A and B are shown apart, each in its own frame.
Chain A
């Protein structure tokens, strides 16, 4: 019997050991379902916003490979395709992990994989087509892996125009398409060199994007958490602009270091970040957890700690570990690598422990349960 009801807020939590679903009508009392995919790592899982019912899970078995499974009844029954995305025989490479799932407005489903590649499914994950222009890009041999491997971890479609999209690859950089993936160009100018104040003057390889999100009101505005700083770029800008006022700065990279980034669901110019000490020590600064919010497009970031642990918090929030929901006021959710899920019901001003003792949290996604 499925106890998930229409209109409830659903929080989809991917962990190192399975998938968990949390649902609530008032965001005060939560019910949970799972774990699903025993022993599998769920690097990312999403609720399809087009129906509010289908949950896609990128499940990776270290032994048996990655697959994108789906359920239409919140885990009552899972459909597991016979295959996941695969590179061509000629490529000489094999998909080892799925890092990112993203639905498209035209009904497609994207998967970003490791080693870095982009695939699209037209049949809800049953079969996958490679974006050859990106996956077999002539410059691919110059793509260097980041600390987590060479992975395509961010897929950012443009609302209202399915031909346009940004993707982030660690540590090759940001790629942009205006023709639905038939061709790609770099989109990296303005990022600082690691540990220096010098900036990449050209759209070039080898900047290490960690996460990008679009502004809620103006999707042409993109915020980026990079290995070497926090940035913002608007269509027409010639380069990314550094937006770090109020954020901690890493001693190693020369800018704000961290992974997760989330946009407010309604308010323009508003985003959330969770910076870490630096790439040499990927934990909360001083062992105190803080979520930073900007409400003016990055001109200023404000530190929020109410309800968050302020001592002994020697954990990380990974790149998919921070999300907002679409309620008003917005919910904000942060999952840690030590298995705590924190949430806020007031735009991130105050926080509560929503779940504890989960496996290390890999991803957090939200949605409103629908019936279509």
Chain B
């Protein structure tokens, strides 16, 4: 399922993939189109549309939670501060749970 609403103005137009466990927050939506200059902006926009989503992704310090992985296209950015991950037009942002737990 893909969200079809218009993206807000400003920033690069990117697409964010939402993993299955987080789709309870996005009402089942799997991919979200939005505009953002960096990953922090993208998460903020996601949270604006789907309140509570940012809490699930970010820890108390604003970094990615320990077992949350984020890729921009094929590059892992999981160990970088979201504000320091620039986004460019056409980027695909993928949020994935780590292969951890049992």
Contact = CB atoms under 8 A, between A and B. Distances in A.
A245 to B, nearest CB: 41
Given A89-B60, A93-B60, A80 B21 contact: no
Interface in A83-99: 83-84, 86-89, 91-96
Interface in B54-94: 55-57, 59-62, 65-68
A81 B52 contact: yes
A80 B25 CA distance: 10
Given A64-B65, A65-B59, 20 more contacts: A61-B21, A62-B100, A63-B21, A64-B57, A64-B68, A64-B97, A65-B56, A67-B55, A80-B52, A81-B52, A82-B51, A82-B52, A82-B55, A83-B52, A83-B55, A87-B60, A88-B60, A94-B60, A95-B60, A96-B66
Given A89-B60, A91-B60, A63 B67 contact: yes
Nearest to A92: B61
Given A63-B101, A64-B22, A89 B67 contact: no
A39 B97 CA distance: 13
B40 to A, nearest CB: 14
B98 interface: yes
A64 B57 CA distance: 6
Contacts of B100: 62-63
Contacts of A64: 21-22, 56-57, 65, 68, 97
A255 B46 CA distance: 53
Interface of A: 39, 61-65, 67, 80-84, 86-89, 91-96
Given A80-B52, A82-B52, A83-B52, A63 B60 contact: no
Contacts of B21: 39, 61, 63-64
Contact of B65 (A63, A83, A89, A93): A63
B65 A65 contact: yes
A88 B51 CA distance: 20
Nearest to B69: A63
B52 A63 contact: no
B59 A94 contact: yes
Contacts of B56: 61, 64-65
Contacts of B62: 89
Contacts of A93: 60-61
The residue among A61, A80, A81 with the most chain B CB atoms within 10 A of its own CB is A61
18 contacts: A61-B21, A62-B101, A63-B21, A63-B67, A63-B100, A64-B21, A64-B56, A64-B57, A65-B55, A65-B56, A65-B59, A67-B55, A80-B52, A81-B52, A82-B55, A89-B61, A93-B61, A94-B59
Most buried by B among A39, A63, A88: A63
Q: Please indicate which of the listed interface residues A61, A82, A95 has the most CB atoms of chain B within 10 Å of its own CB.
A: A82
Given A83-B55, A84-B55, A63 B97 contact: yes
Contacts of A91: 60
A63 B68 contact: yes
Contacts of B65: 63-65
B100 to A, nearest CB: 6
Nearest to B65: A65
A88 B21 CA distance: 27
Contacts of B51: 82
A81 B66 CA distance: 21
A335 B100 CA distance: 26
A83 B66 CA distance: 17
Given A82-B51, A84-B55, A62 B61 contact: no
A340 to B, nearest CB: 20
Given A82-B51, A82-B55, A84-B55, A62 B60 contact: no
A314 to B, nearest CB: 20
A342 B38 CA distance: 53
Contacts of B59: 65, 94
**B57, B61, B66: most-surrounded residue (chain A CB, <10 A):** B61
Contacts of B22: 64
B78 to A, nearest CB: 12
